[in-house]
Structure 1
Amino acid sequence: MEEKKFDVNSIIGFVLIFGILIFMFYQNQPTPEEVEAEKAKQEQIDVKKVDENAETETVINQVPQLDLRDSTAVANYQGKLGAFGFTKPSNATTILENEVLLLEISNKGGQIVEAKMKNFVTYDSIPVYLVKDGNASFGLDFSTSDNRVLNTQDLYFEPTLTNSNGNQVLSLKAKTANNQYLEYRYEMKPNDYLVDFTIKSKGLDNVISDNKPVKLDWKLKAIRHSKSIQYENRYTRLTYNHEDDKLSKLSEGSDDEETEENIKWISYRQHFFSSILAADEPFKSGQLTSVNLVEEESRTFGFTKEYASALPLEVEAGEISKDLHWYFGPTDVEILTQYEDLGLVDSIPFGWGIFGWINRYVFTPFYSLISTYFPYGIAIVIMTILVRLAMSPVTYKSYLSQAKMKVLKPEITEMGEKFKDNAMKKQQETMKLYGKAGVSPMSGCIPAVIQMPIFYALFMFFPTSFALRQKSFLWADDLSSFDTIYQFPEGFSIPFYGDHVSLFPILASIAIFFYMMMTTGQNMPTQPGMPNMKFIMYLMPFMMLFFFNNYASGLSLYYFVSNMITIGIMLIIKNFILDNDKIHAQIQENKKKPKKENKFQKKMREMMEQAESNKKK
């Protein structure tokens, strides 16, 4: 390494340069006469600036009245503002802000250019934005009386911000005269995600054509908020209320378009957050479009779907008047229930039919109550225990039926050997044996049928419950999303499995495997020429491992705990409640009793006897 030395020549050079600079400043020092002349010149400049500021203030306070039909006049107006420093009037915005929501509204077009959730962040700790950086647009298309077409997104509005009873009121007017204008009126209440929005025109009957409708155009590209864009996109969907509270949705996985009537509200749902436009009086019709932007999993792509709505507004005597509402906020049942008169809570994907009813009125309030007193992960465990205990009588009936079938298995095997060449007769005798013994082979299926609505309701509850969003438990960072114990290198993914390994699905699959071994797996029949049903049943947990790997970790946690509890209940029933000898004795007693047939059983017996008779003939 080269040793640093003291360089005398460099120091001498710096000293000489410094001396030269001081000499130049001294030589260029102004004389007293020059100082007085400069002072007088500065006073003249200050007077001129005062005059210019007065002229600028006049222009601002007395905005020239524009003819909306005259694009040249609009351009000239912009140019005049530019002469006084306002070269980009479109950048002028007004902020509406309360405790939970911030809206930035542009003078150009009078539209919302930023909507920020103040109390929520994305998976990577960035504030949640529903509108930002031009991802949304809103405007009215209308024809003028001289057959020109205008879009309000190209017009400039005058803002007036006031306070009314504690509410912030922003009036934006695009004027042709003081008493002739198109107005957008926003009213924001404290601590509220809903903003009242009114569209109204005055004195424009000579401008707006009555022959052609005014079209409201609202577009939005849904911004990504979750670590998995495919997972988030699965629950990102356009939902709408139409035709007397009928709920419909556009496709979640492909491009879709519909034309509907009597639309009350439109929800651009972005999984846990929604942008909703609601009307006091329904739109008579509307064309709704959803375009899927996600083709594969990506760690960088920023958007999920692109939405568009075209809604005609009625024009009466050349004037427009429409009372609307904007909602920018969480897709949360506790918040959306507050707007019962608009029915916005129906935009939450609870599920279809009875499944949605169970989710909305049973699991959602039940879990909310438990999570009030316990951590969110523990609340899932407690809820699982209570649900399984409530279902324990069904579990008991199911296991009792299996025990009876196990006791009868030797007789059924013997009967199969006896009538191995006559399948019809074998079926008849088997049904008679079941009838005498008081055993129903279908009773083992009843628990599965009963639990199906619960399964589907929970399947929708965990991924869509806002209460679980970003709530951690053990190694899971977010119970509403999948947990990750290992992330594959970027660009590597296992088909149908994903680019990560989740632990909760592994535990759930193991529990399901042992549960099936204790129930259907051991009694599953195998027949020549038939697939190995035991193999199929054991394959199912493996398939569930793939299925649950990309679903909410809360769901996997529930099924792991649920199956472990079920296994425990079944072991208790087997070892401490049921006695196979007593079951066998009871079956023998049942055989001695005369069995009365109901109409269905009688009909089935007659049909089988008739089939046997026809076979002999």
Structure 2
Amino acid sequence: MDKNSAIGMGLIAILILVYSIFFMKGPEEQPAQKVTKSTTAAAATPTQAPVNDSLANAQRAAQLGAFGAVATGQNQTITLENKVLRVSLGSQGGKVEEVELKNYKTWDKKPLVLFDTQSSQQEFSFQTNDGKTIRLSDLFFQPSAVSNLTVNEKPAKAITFTAQVAPGQSIEQVYTLQEDAYEVGYQLNFRGMEGLVAQQPINLTWTDKLKRLEKDIKQNRSHSTINYYTADESFDNLSASATETETEKLEEPVKWVANKQNFFTAAIIAQNNFANAEVTVEPNDADTTQVKTLRSKLTIPVADALTGKANFTYFFGPNDYDVLKNVTDGFDRNLELGWGIFSYVNKYLIIPAFDFLEDFVPSYGIIIILLVLYIKLLLSPLTYKSYISMAKMKVLKPEIDAIKEKNDGDMQKTQAETMSLYSKMGVNPMSGCIPMLLQMPILFAMFNFFPNSIELRQEPFLWAHDLSTYDVFAMLPFTIPFYGNHVSMFTLLMTASTILYTWSNNQVSTVQGPMKFYSYLMPVIFMFVLNSFPAGLSFYYFVSNIVTFGQQALIRRFVDDAKIRKNLEEYQEKNKGKEPKGGFQKRLQDAMKVAAEQEAKRKKGTK
């Protein structure tokens, strides 16, 4: 590892440290709050228990005016179901009451219910011409029989909830579930109600108290937020790491809003647009049964419901790239793949390879090993180029040591003469750093891929019970600052292999003194940073280090230092007396020469 390579590694270490501190930021867990559950009859403003049913019905009818006739009844639960999704719908309000993802389990092996009536409330409300506010949850709907139909050439099931307000006047809610789909179609129709409904927007308020689905609630919180996509194709979100309540008002039309967790998302998508929106994230630090409270207030043009254009799609499903990319524009952004080039590396390099291996290899630990080999094969030209650069530095070490001894601590003059030596011998000092920097997109892509890969969720390998979170080889009776209260064996193996890799590099490196010390310090820093990261990530870097060590050992067998020395001397002889070519190296050499001359003048002037 030459000086430039060491500097490159140092920059990478600093970037990773800063990134991971932000990435891992999350509130401390506190004792859970007591959650109370209450059941009330449907009423616009229930303040006290009715004396008798007749009086209650009369009060309810008076409060709801023309809608009083559909304000009483008994809630019925109807289920729409396919191979991946079970959706429970209630006739009181005609709304979604519970969603279960059938192919997944919670961290404690229970059925994965994304939300239920206690954790999630959706409220549609609208204004009447006589100034009343009507909530759909105040009304009782009559469910139709579940019907079979075809949607986009695929089998589907549908159910219609109808509230008959008066002859020729009704509210309809239609739910459609396709075969093997995570999307639920939803239509809201106001039929013949132009004379009852005011020309004011319909309001949808969705409050979702995210249920705890993962063991590592700190990681779950740091990846849970509200994402949204506007009509002008702009994606944005609220901060997932905020520890205080955050609210944002969106005045422009919005295409979709998603309650996004680490591995799962619940969203509503408008076929047209929501007129505007207000989104809020409230961290629930004191409750270990809930992650956060997410609240969205969306407005729907009433004309859409009156003209049959209030069409929406609910999405309840996993943050799987192959699933999300087919939902709607920008929806794949609910999977955190990094920004810019890191996202493209994951989409077009890592995920396709991972999906291909997944079809043939049953063990995800083996898949990670094969993924390392695949990436190392792609990067092998850069690895070879970096090693050759270090080998050139090594064979020039006697001359560099002589320059240091001659200048006796004059760093600027030493650097200038060293650059001159490199130029004469045809050595580019940046050639060892550039290959390492070119590998950074893959390095950072992995920091987003492994913590968000649902494929690794609850997948065991060796002693790790779940590759999507940290492995616990041993629990500590105390907490070490920045490290935690557990020992991750994969992180220790990664640290040991990094030290081995660093030692191997130093055998062909000219680095001495503090730089050499820092090269061994960086693996220790990584050990603290990655101890609470997913086991899959630490295992990947462990295998990567071992493979790289093997690559360098193989390259070393075929690289002859004497031949490299001979080639450098031939280059020096061939270009003897010639001025160095232009370019970055020439400019760097001239800058160091000028700096050395100025330093010499300064020292001479102070004598």
What TM-score does the superposition give when structure 1 sets the normalisation length?
0.80
Which digits, 9 at most, give the CA deviation of each residue in 1:37-85, with x for residues without a partner? Answer: xxxxxxxxxxxxxxxxxxxxxxxxxxx9999884378778767x5xxxx
In structure 2, how many angstroms separate the alpha carbons of the residues matched to 1:289 and 1:449? Answer: 39
Q: Residue 306 of structure 2: SS of its match in structure 1?
A: coil
Q: Residue 156 of structure 1: SS of its match in structure 2?
A: coil
Q: Residue 277 of structure 1: SS of its match in structure 2?
A: strand
Contact 1:253/1:292, CA 8 A, preserved across alignment: no
Contact 1:107/1:158, CA 8 A, preserved across alignment: yes
In structure 2, how many angstroms separate the alpha carbons of the residues matched to 1:345 and 1:65? Answer: 50
In structure 1, how many angstroms separate the alpha carbons of the residues matched to 2:321 and 2:555? Answer: 39
State the Cα distance separating 1:447 from its structure 2 match. Answer: 2.3
* 2:503 maps to which of 493, 500, 517: 517
Quick one: which amino acid aligns to residue 175 of structure 2? Y
Match of 2:283?
Answer: 292
* 1:326 maps to which of 314, 322, 325: 314
Quick one: which amino acid aligns to residue 264 of structure 1? K
* 1:182 maps to which of 149, 163, 171: 171
State the Cα distance separating 1:515 from its structure 2 match. Answer: 0.9
In structure 1, how many angstroms separate the alpha carbons of the residues matched to 2:135 and 2:548? Answer: 63
Q: Residue 174 of structure 1: SS of its match in structure 2?
A: strand
Contact 1:229/1:294, CA 8 A, preserved across alignment: no
Match of 1:167?
Answer: 156
Contact 2:416/2:596, CA 8 A, preserved across alignment: no
Quick one: which amino acid aligns to residue 145 of structure 1? N
State the Cα distance separating 1:285 from its structure 2 match. Answer: 2.0
Match of 2:339?
Answer: 352
In structure 2, how many angstroms separate the alpha carbons of the residues matched to 1:351 and 1:587? Answer: 42
Contact 1:66/1:175, CA 8 A, preserved across alignment: no
In structure 2, how many angstroms separate the alpha carbons of the residues matched to 1:280 and 1:130? Answer: 24
State how 1:573-584 maps to structure 2 within 5 Å.
Answer: 573-574=555-556, 576-584=557-565
Which digits, 9 at most, give the CA deviation of each residue in 1:319-351, with x for residues without a partner? Answer: 374110011111112323443x45533322121
* 2:485 maps to which of 495, 499, 524: 499
Change (3 A) 1:438 1:294: farther
Match of 1:39?
Answer: none
In structure 1, how many angstroms separate the alpha carbons of the residues matched to 2:354 and 2:395? Answer: 41
Contact 2:62/2:68, CA 8 A, preserved across alignment: no
Match of 2:291?
Answer: 304
State the Cα distance separating 1:173 from its structure 2 match. Answer: 2.6
In structure 2, how many angstroms separate the alpha carbons of the residues matched to 1:611 and 1:546? Answer: 40
Match of 1:259?
Answer: 249
Q: Is structure 2 residue 355 aligned with structure 1 residue 368?
A: yes
Match of 1:143?
Answer: 127
Which digits, 9 at most, give the CA deviation of each residue in 1:193-245, with x for residues without a partner? Answer: 111001121222233222x4322211211111111111222322322222432
Gapped regions of structure 1 (runs ≥ 5):
1-63, 82-88
Match of 1:196?
Answer: 185
Greater alpha carbon shift after TM alignment, 122-131 vs 410-419: 410-419
* 2:550 maps to which of 565, 568, 573: 568
Contact 1:95/1:102, CA 8 A, preserved across alignment: yes
In structure 2, how many angstroms separate the alpha carbons of the residues matched to 1:520 and 1:276? Answer: 52
State the Cα distance separating 1:147 from its structure 2 match. Answer: 2.3
Contact 1:67/1:74, CA 8 A, preserved across alignment: no
In structure 2, how many angstroms separate the alpha carbons of the residues matched to 1:163 and 1:424? Answer: 83
Q: Is structure 2 residue 302 aligned with structure 1 residue 315?
A: yes
In structure 1, how many angstroms separate the alpha carbons of the residues matched to 2:563 and 2:61? Answer: 92
State the Cα distance separating 1:488 from its structure 2 match. Answer: 4.3
Q: Residue 442 of structure 1: SS of its match in structure 2?
A: coil
In structure 2, how many angstroms separate the alpha carbons of the residues matched to 1:240 and 1:131? Answer: 20
Q: Is structure 2 residue 552 aligned with structure 1 residue 585?
A: no
State the Cα distance separating 1:111 from its structure 2 match. Answer: 1.7
Match of 1:154?
Answer: 138
In structure 1, how many angstroms separate the alpha carbons of the residues matched to 2:507 and 2:96? Answer: 59
In structure 1, how many angstroms separate the alpha carbons of the residues matched to 2:69 and 2:167? Answer: 19
State how 1:453-602 maps to structure 2 within 5 Å.
Answer: 453-488=441-476, 492-519=478-505, 523=509, 525=511, 532-574=514-556, 576-594=557-575, 595=578, 596-602=580-586
Which digits, 9 at most, give the CA deviation of each residue in 1:152-209, with x for residues without a partner? Answer: 2333222223304253222223332132122221111222211100112122223322
State the Cα distance separating 1:366 from its structure 2 match. Answer: 0.5
Match of 1:232?
Answer: 220
Contact 2:70/2:141, CA 8 A, preserved across alignment: no
In structure 2, how many angstroms separate the alpha carbons of the residues matched to 1:194 and 1:461? Answer: 24
In structure 1, how many angstroms separate the alpha carbons of the residues matched to 2:469 and 2:416? Answer: 51
In structure 2, how many angstroms separate the alpha carbons of the residues matched to 1:93 and 1:207? Answer: 29
Gapped regions of structure 2 (runs ≥ 5):
1-56, 150-154, 603-607
Greater alpha carbon shift after TM alignment, 369-378 vs 604-613: 604-613
Contact 2:70/2:139, CA 8 A, preserved across alignment: no
Q: Residue 279 of structure 2: SS of its match in structure 1?
A: strand
State the Cα distance separating 1:533 from its structure 2 match. Answer: 3.2
Greater alpha carbon shift after TM alignment, 399-408 vs 256-265: 256-265
State the Cα distance separating 1:384 from its structure 2 match. Answer: 0.8
Match of 2:273?
Answer: 282
In structure 2, how many angstroms separate the alpha carbons of the residues matched to 1:152 and 1:420? Answer: 85
Q: Is structure 2 residue 118 aligned with structure 1 residue 134?
A: yes
Q: Residue 464 of structure 2: SS of its match in structure 1?
A: coil
Q: Residue 170 of structure 1: SS of its match in structure 2?
A: strand
Contact 2:304/2:310, CA 8 A, preserved across alignment: no
State how 1:94-105 maps to structure 2 within 5 Å.
Answer: 94-105=78-89
- Aligned residues: CA RMSD: 2.8
State the Cα distance separating 1:602 from its structure 2 match. Answer: 4.8
What TM-score does the superposition give when structure 2 sets the normalisation length?
0.81
Match of 1:393?
Answer: 381
In structure 1, how many angstroms separate the alpha carbons of the residues matched to 2:567 and 2:492? Answer: 42
In structure 2, how many angstroms separate the alpha carbons of the residues matched to 1:104 and 1:443? Answer: 61
State the Cα distance separating 1:534 from its structure 2 match. Answer: 3.2
In structure 2, how many angstroms separate the alpha carbons of the residues matched to 1:310 and 1:114? Answer: 20
Contact 1:206/1:318, CA 8 A, preserved across alignment: no
Q: Residue 515 of structure 1: SS of its match in structure 2?
A: helix
In structure 1, how many angstroms separate the alpha carbons of the residues matched to 2:588 and 2:356? Answer: 49
Contact 2:86/2:100, CA 8 A, preserved across alignment: yes
Match of 1:106?
Answer: 90
